[in-house]
Amino acid sequence: MRVAAIQALEHHLPERRLKNDELAKLYPDWSAQKIFDKTGIRERRVVAPDEFASDLGAAAAEKLFARTGIDRATVDLLVYCTQSPDYFLPTTACILQERLGLPTTTAAFDYNLGCSAFPYGLAMIRGLIETGAASTALLVMAETYSRFIHPMDKSVRTLFGDAASAVLVTATEREAPTLGPFVLGTDGKGANNLIVKRGGIRQPIGTEPLVETTDNSGNVRTEANLYMNGPAILEFTIRRIPAVFKELLARAEVTLSDVRWVIMHQANEYMLRYLQKKIGIPDEKFAVHLEHCGNTVSSTIPIVLQHLVKEGQVKRDDLLLTLGFGVGYSWGANLIRWSPDR
């Protein structure tokens, strides 16, 4: 049967490293070790002033082309996820199509999601490939939250890093699907708990002065900066995500013992370990990999997956469970049967 299968993954990080020692100088009550203890992160990457999300995405895609040797003329679908687009319009995917030298027969579009982006992207691509609308798809996810973060807001600056990832998904013949099932969901009641309020159409910058405010923890921000209600995000996560995990296993008619790796969105290590314990996932099945890149939003899951593959910790026919959750609130989970052609 015709199915969609992941063939390869790559990622790209900007050069500048923002280390805990540097942040500790700005936040006297948080030492470098305290930042690590709270987050599991020692450094995160941030873009240069003249570097943008699409630059990271293009670099990740070029790495993928170079490593796989795939003829880019065969690509007929480009799906790009970002919350940091180059422009309101046109869609950045159209710009990347030309920049990457993809044929004009390539369908290209953007979608706007954060931490749930990977399962959603795979779900869309699987549908387009398995209905015959595409055969060779490039999924690119790129984010530069550093551009939204106030330098004196330690609640988010200690967490987020900039990055991009690229995933090659192609049509192939298998006896059963390699992607899915999927569990997707949304709860827009949480929209204001992770948000950049100003800068869009509803609340543009320039109509009213931006005012810096300081919260009870000493974090400084304006409405043009990223705001995160950490306690509310944690409450949502521990309430919703274990149920999503169980629903996916039930829908697939498998158990945790059938799964080789559980790869969750790498929000921070505290949250990951809490979920691991609550769900009951053994250490040998639970992937944590954010110490040197931070929370890269849409790219956390593919970065972890690429790391595991590179280290030889994923074998052919291994069953992988990925689960993304966050801004929106939005969540997505899916299974991957790892079976690349090459």
Catalytic residue among 20, 193, 265, 293: 265
Catalytic residue among 11, 12, 81, 115: 115
Contact by Cβ (8 Å): 68, 8? yes
Instruction: Verify whether residue 193 is a known catalytic residue.
Output: no
Q: Which amino acid is at 10?
A: E
Instruction: Verify whether residue 295 is a known catalytic residue.
Output: yes
Q: What six digits make up the tokens of 20?
A: 């805990």
Q: Which amino acid is at 197?
A: K
Radius of gyration of the chain (CA): 20
> CA–CA separation, 276 vs 213, rounded Å?
35
> CA–CA separation, 237 vs 300, rounded Å?
16
Q: What six digits make up the tokens of 286?
A: 């639970």
CA distances 120 to 2, 45, 139, 220, 230, Å, are 20, 25, 11, 33, 24
DSSP class of 150: -
> Which residues, other chains included, contact 81 with Cβ-Cβ below 8 Å and sequence gap of 6+?
110, 111, 112, 113, 117, 120, 121, 139, 140, 141, 142, 298
CA neighbor of 96 nearest in space, from 110, 116, 84: 110
Instruction: Verify whether residue 265 is a known catalytic residue.
Output: yes
> Which residues, other chains included, contact 196 with Cβ-Cβ below 8 Å and sequence gap of 6+?
148, 223, 224, 225, 226, 227
Contact by Cβ (8 Å): 41, 159? yes
> CA–CA separation, 202 vs 266, rounded Å?
31
Residues forming the active site: 115, 265, 295
